[in-house]
Copies of this chain bind each other. A is one copy, B any other.
Amino acid sequence: MTEDSLELLNQRLLTFAQARDWEQFHSPKNLVMALAGECGELLEHFQWLNEEQSASLAPEKKREVALEMADILIYLVRLSQRLGLDLLAAADEKIGINERRYPVEKVRGDARRADEYDR
């Protein structure tokens, strides 16, 4: 992780966990579960909305959604730290993979999964 916002977040979260002696609970397995649990909470905000409604949330709802997303980012950064991974480098690599996997001329306007293009 480069020395910027994500790295600052990482440092702050590490300090938070150490001060509470919570590193003992932060095994990668547990953090993955916590991350997925937060995704579940995010889903609940959107499950009965149609796509259009999902794009124009009321301010209070939008704030709640932002805080759920924050939880996901927090666990993602914690997990990177515990696994010794560079999250931003992985994102760069993945975007490169996606660019090769989904060439513009092949997939324009069509969002099927990669495994479905090859059928």
Interface residue ranges, A against B (CB under 8 Å): 1-2, 4-6, 9, 12-13, 16, 19-22, 24-25, 27-30, 32-52, 54-55, 57, 62, 65-67, 69-74, 76, 79-80, 82-83, 85-91, 93-95, 97-99, 102, 104, 107-109, 111-113
Report how many copies the assembly holds.
4
Q: A16-B99, A65-B83, A67-B90 are in contact. Are A48 and B30 (CB under 8 A)?
A: yes
A93 CB contact (under 8 Å) in B28, B45, B70, B95: B70
Classify the interface of chain A: helix, strand, loop or mixed: helix
Q: Which B residues lie within 8 Å of A89 (CB)?
A: 66
Q: Which B residues lie within 8 Å of A74 (CB)?
A: 91, 94-95
